């Protein structure tokens, strides 16, 4: 499939860009330059950042954008243009769906030519799923798309939302010395850190630092200034147009192993009608029980050509099925290694590849190939 060739091309181009930067003496750790003519589209989907307290129940509920805007007069002080697009009604990101992802892609496609960058305000609960999905749905992204949100609503005195939003907007407007966006990637910005979106996972329900990028370094850190690490940032092919993908196939699921799991539970999941792909959250470096019933259920799934991708339940590290007998048996059965991909990205990638109509054999092959920096290839 050409996505792989394109990604390799992107990598090559990335190398060339590094060469070009060396020649021009542009260092890899750099700060961006705000483009005062920049136009950034702020897309509000919902989430805590814009929520208010329901006086009767005390629970937070999505609220309209005028509330957010009146609490953020700082937006007017930015010396570039910010326009807004509102999702109506705004949602708690627990209500996120493939349809809303498609809506986001539509908004960005329709406005792509008119803006230098995009910031998406989104609830933190499913932000990593959305970031992963969008990273595949935008192919050869040439402009920044930055997701951000907050743990405390913008109207609260101690809100983390203001800094997150202002810095995300600046990142979306930042340019390098060649006039290109510094981060033409799908990212999450939260609590001073810019991370590749499809490498993130939500790790904290309380702290402002809600996200981690366990297996890929941060792309930038915001302190007194925003310092980017150029070497880590994907470079697109500026001669090729960005391609917007809409089709995502929902015939996938996550099967998490735990001691005591029964055949009934595994069978019920693997026999879901129409199932095409499974993210198997296994132990450690990708190990699973060696019970006869477990192998039998897996074999049955393979007979139905279901793609099973092995990801680790650990936050850090990767699947290496050859290390233990309990992993080797999975490999021998035909389970695909997800390397160090997150569960969120593995799920989104399966949805994307099946959505494109790839055959199970091709999906198995492509799951091991990084399409947009979502996994590390190991020898």
The span from the CA of 157 to the CA of 121, in Å, is: 19
Nearer to ligand ASP, 94 or 332 (CB): 94
**What's the closest the beta carbon of residue 62 comes to ligand ASP, in angstroms?**
8
Q: How many other β-carbons are positioned within 10 Å of the β-carbon of residue 316? A: 9
Nearer to ligand ASP, 206 or 258 (CB): 206
Nearer to ligand ASP, 161 or 370 (CB): 161
What number of CA atoms fall less than 13 Å from residue 307's CA on the CB side? 27
The span from the CA of 108 to the CA of 104, in Å, is: 6
- The yes-or-no answer on residue 167 being catalytic is no
Nearer to ligand ASP, 152 or 314 (CB): 152
**What's the closest the beta carbon of residue 129 comes to ligand ASP, in angstroms?**
11
**What's the closest the beta carbon of residue 93 comes to ligand ASP, in angstroms?**
3
Q: Dihedrals φ, ψ of 316, to 5°?
A: -110, 155
The span from the CA of 370 to the CA of 209, in Å, is: 27
First to last CA, the chain: 22
Nearer to ligand ASP, 46 or 144 (CB): 46
- Which class for 313: exposed (0-12), middle (13-18), buried (19 or more C-beta within 10 A)? middle
Q: Are 45 and 272 a contacting pair, CB within 8 Å?
A: no
Q: How many other β-carbons are positioned within 10 Å of the β-carbon of residue 5? A: 9
The span from the CA of 252 to the CA of 343, in Å, is: 12
**Residue closest to ligand ASP (Cβ):** 123
**What's the closest the beta carbon of residue 368 comes to ligand ASP, in angstroms?**
31
**What's the closest the beta carbon of residue 161 comes to ligand ASP, in angstroms?**
9
Where do runs of H (alpha helix) occur along the chain?
2-23, 65-70, 98-111, 127-137, 161-173, 263-270, 292-303, 325-333, 343-355, 360-366
Q: How many residues does the chain have?
A: 379
The span from the CA of 375 to the CA of 364, in Å, is: 14
The span from the CA of 299 to the CA of 109, in Å, is: 42
- Which class for 178: exposed (0-12), middle (13-18), buried (19 or more C-beta within 10 A)? exposed
The structure tokens listed for 133 are 């999905």
**What's the closest the beta carbon of residue 86 comes to ligand ASP, in angstroms?**
15
**What's the closest the beta carbon of residue 50 comes to ligand ASP, in angstroms?**
9
The catalytic position among 10, 48, 126, 312 is 48
Nearer to ligand ASP, 141 or 187 (CB): 187
**Residues at the site binding ligand ASP, with contacts judged by CB under 6 A:** 46-48, 92-94, 123-125, 149, 151
Nearer to ligand ASP, 60 or 369 (CB): 60
The structure tokens listed for 67 are 């509330």
Residues with a catalytic annotation lie at 48
């Amino acid at each position: 499939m050409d996505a792989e060739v394109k990604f390799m091309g992107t990598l090559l181009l990335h190398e060339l860009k590094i060469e070009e930067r060396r020649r021009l003496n542009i260092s890899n750790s750099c700060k961006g330059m705000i483009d005062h003519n920049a136009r950034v589209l702020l897309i509000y989907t919902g989430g805590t950042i814009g929520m208010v307290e329901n006086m009767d129940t005390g629970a937070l509920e999505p609220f309209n954008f005028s509330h957010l805007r009146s609490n953020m007069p700082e937006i007017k002080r930015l010396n570039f243009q910010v326009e807004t697009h509102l999702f109506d009604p705004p949602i708690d990101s627990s209500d996120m769906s493939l349809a809303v992802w498609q809506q986001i892609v539509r908004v960005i496609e329709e406005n792509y030519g008119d803006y230098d960058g995009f910031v998406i305000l989104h609830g933190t609960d499913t932000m990593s799923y959305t970031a992963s999905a969008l990273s595949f749905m935008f192919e050869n992204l040439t402009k920044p798309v930055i997701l951000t949100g907050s743990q405390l609503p913008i109207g609260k005195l101690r809100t983390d939302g203001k800094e997150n939003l202002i810095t995300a907007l600046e990142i979306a407007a930042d340019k390098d010395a060649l006039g290109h966006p510094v981060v033409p990637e799908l990212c999450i910005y939260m609590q001073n850190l810019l991370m590749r979106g499809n490498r993130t996972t939500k790790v904290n329900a309380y702290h402002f630092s809600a996200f981690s990028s366990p297996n890929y370094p941060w792309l930038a850190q915001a302190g007194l200034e925003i310092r980017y690490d150029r070497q880590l940032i994907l470079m697109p092919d500026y001669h090729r147009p960005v391609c917007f993908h809409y089709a995502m196939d929902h015939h996938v699921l996550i099967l998490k192993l735990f001691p005591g799991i029964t055949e009934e539970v595994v069978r019920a999941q693997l026999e879901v009608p129409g199932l095409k792909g499974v993210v198997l959250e296994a132990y450690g470096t990708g190990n699973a029980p060696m019970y006869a019933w477990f192998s039998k259920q897996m074999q049955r799934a393979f007979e139905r050509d279901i793609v099973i991708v092995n990801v680790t339940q650990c936050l850090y590290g990767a699947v290496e099925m050859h290390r233990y007998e309990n992993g080797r048996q999975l490999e021998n059965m035909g389970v695909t290694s997800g390397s160090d991909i997150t569960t969120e990205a593995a799920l989104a990638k399966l949805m994307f590849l099946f959505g494109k109509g790839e055959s199970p054999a091709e999906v198995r092959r492509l799951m091991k190939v990084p399409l947009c920096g979502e996994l590390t290839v190991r020898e």
